[in-house]
C-alpha cells in the first residue's frame, strides 16, 4: 500500500504539472490525497464502464490520460454520461488522476514511449523547439534512411494495426521523422520547418494532408486511440515494482471508432 500523495509525487517527477499545456487540466481530479492505494486501473479515458471495472477490481485509483474534468464544471447531472461517471467515482470512494499533456511533453513521457514502441530510437528534440528535449512533439533521426513504405510496415507491425493512412510516395527515403502523439495536425507546419521528411500524428484533417502533399512532406496518420493507448503500458511499467501496488490495464475501455468494410 502507498498513499495517493506518494504516488502523485512520483508521477509528478516523471511528468511535472508545469509541463502541461495552458488549456489542460491535469493532476488529481477527484480523491483524497491521504487515501491508501493498493490497486490502480489505468485507462486512456474515464467513463462509467471504466469506473465500474475499477470498483469491481477493488481499485482505489484510476489513472487516465485524458482528463474527465476538462471544462469548468457547472453541474453534475446523473442522467448525463460525465455526471454518471462522477457519481460512480465519488460513490465508490475512488480517486481519479490525469496525466495528460504534461506526460506527452516530458522527457521519457508518452511521445518518447510511442517512438520507442515503433522502434524509432534516435530522438533529438521537441518538435517546436530544437533547443529542448521536452515539450510537445519530437524530432527523431533514423540511424539509416529507409523508404517510407518500409518504415510504415515497421510501424504498422510494431503497433499491431491493420492499416495506416498516409500522404507521400512509399518509395521515397525518409530519415528525419517528426511526431506528435494525439491530435497534432496543426503541428504539421512545425514538422516541415524542422526539416522532417515524415510527420506522424493523429486526428489529421484534409488541409493537413494538402499542406504535406504540396510541400513534399510525407504524412502518416495514426488514430488518436492507436497513438495513445500505449499510455496504459507506460504507466504500468513506471509504477510496477516501484510501489506495493497492482497496476492493471482497463479491459473495458475501447476505441469507440469502428470500421465498416
Ligand atoms: Zn490524447
28: CATH = 3.40.1390.30
Does 85 share its domain with 128?
Answer: no
Does 119 share its domain with 48?
Answer: no
- C-alpha radius of gyration, the chain, whole number: 19
Are residues 199 and 172 in contact, defined by beta-carbon separation less than 8 angstroms?
A: no
Phi, psi angle pair for 28, to nearest 5°: -75, 120
Q: What is the pLDDT of residue 261?
A: 83
260 within some domain = no
Q: What is the pLDDT of residue 204?
A: 96
254 within some domain = no
Does 172 share its domain with 207?
Answer: yes
Does 155 share its domain with 75?
Answer: no
What are the strands, taking DSSP E only, across 46-156?
A: 61-64, 95-98, 123-126, 138-147
Name the nearest CA neighbour of 40 among 243, 230, 253, 229. Answer: 243
Task: Tell how far the Cα of 66 is from the centroid of ligand 1, in angstroms.
Answer: 6
Task: Tell how far the Cα of 173 is from the centroid of ligand 1, in angstroms.
Answer: 29
Task: Tell how far the Cα of 42 is from the centroid of ligand 1, in angstroms.
Answer: 14
Q: Supply the DSSP string of 202-223, one letter for each residue.
A: ES--HHHHHHHHHTT-EEEE--
Between the alpha carbon of residue 43 and those of residues 65, 134, 217, 233, 236, the distances in Å are 7, 23, 33, 10, 11
Task: Tell how far the Cα of 144 is from the centroid of ligand 1, in angstroms.
Answer: 30
Task: Give me the tens of pLDDT residue by residue for the chain, a chain 261 residues long.
Answer: 899 999 999 999 999 999 999 999 999 999 999 999 999 999 999 999 999 999 999 999 999 999 999 998 999 999 999 999 999 999 999 999 999 999 999 999 999 999 999 999 899 999 999 999 999 999 999 999 999 999 999 999 999 999 999 999 999 999 999 999 999 999 999 999 999 999 999 999 999 999 999 999 999 999 999 999 999 999 999 999 999 999 999 999 999 999 898
Does 182 share its domain with 198?
Answer: yes
Does 27 share its domain with 76?
Answer: yes
Task: Tell how far the Cα of 171 is from the centroid of ligand 1, in angstroms.
Answer: 31
187 within some domain = yes
133 within some domain = yes
Does 174 share its domain with 156?
Answer: yes
Task: Tell how far the Cα of 17 is from the centroid of ligand 1, in angstroms.
Answer: 16
Which protein residues have their CB within 5 A of the ion that is ligand 1?
Answer: 182, 228
Does 147 share its domain with 166?
Answer: yes
Containing structural domain, residue 51: 2-102+230-249
Q: Which residues pair with 98 in a beta bridge?
A: 27, 64
Are residues 49 and 39 in contact, defined by beta-carbon separation less than 8 angstroms?
A: no
Does 125 share its domain with 210?
Answer: yes
117 within some domain = yes
pTM of the complete model: 0.95
Does 69 share its domain with 142?
Answer: no
Does 78 share its domain with 113?
Answer: no
258 within some domain = no
Q: What is the pLDDT of residue 199?
A: 98
255 within some domain = no
149 within some domain = yes
Q: Which three cell numbers stand for residue 160?
A: 499491431
Does 19 share its domain with 77?
Answer: yes
Tally of structural domains, the chain: 2
Amino acid at each position: 500500500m502507498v498513499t495517493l500523495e506518494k504516488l502523485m509525487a512520483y508521477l509528478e517527477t516523471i511528468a511535472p504539472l508545469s509541463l502541461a499545456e495552458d488549456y489542460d487540466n491535469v493532476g488529481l481530479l477527484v480523491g483524497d490525497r491521504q487515501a491508501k492505494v493498493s490497486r490502480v486501473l489505468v485507462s486512456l479515458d474515464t467513463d462509467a464502464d471504466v469506473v465500474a471495472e475499477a470498483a469491481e477490481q477493488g481499485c482505489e485509483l484510476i489513472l487516465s490520460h485524458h482528463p474527465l474534468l476538462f471544462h469548468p464544471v457547472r453541474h453534475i447531472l446523473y442522467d448525463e454520461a460525465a455526471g454518471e461517471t462522477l457519481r460512480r467515482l465519488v460513490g465508490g470512494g475512488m480517486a481519479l488522476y490525469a496525466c495528460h499533456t504534461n506526460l506527452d511533453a516530458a522527457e521519457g513521457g508518452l511521445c518518447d514511449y510511442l517512438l520507442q514502441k515503433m522502434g524509432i530510437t534516435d530522438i533529438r528534440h521537441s518538435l517546436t523547439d530544437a533547443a529542448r528535449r521536452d515539450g510537445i512533439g519530437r524530432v527523431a533521426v533514423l540511424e539509416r534512411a529507409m523508404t517510407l513504405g518500409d518504415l510504415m510496415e515497421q510501424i504498422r507491425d510494431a503497433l499491431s494495426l491493420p492499416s495506416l493512412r498516409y500522404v507521400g510516395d512509399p518509395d521515397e527515403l525518409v530519415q528525419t521523422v517528426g511526431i506528435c502523439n494525439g491530435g497534432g495536425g496543426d503541428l504539421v507546419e512545425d514538422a516541415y520547418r524542422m526539416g522532417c521528411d515524415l510527420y506522424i500524428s493523429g486526428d489529421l484533417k484534409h488541409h493537413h494532408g494538402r499542406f504535406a502533399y504540396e510541400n513534399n512532406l510525407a504524412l502518416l496518420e495514426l488514430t488518436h486511440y492507436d497513438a495513445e493507448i500505449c499510455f496504459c503500458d507506460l504507466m504500468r511499467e513506471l509504477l510496477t515494482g516501484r510501489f506495493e501496488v497492482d497496476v492493471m490495464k482497463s479491459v473495458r475501455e475501447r476505441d469507440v471508432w469502428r470500421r465498416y468494410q
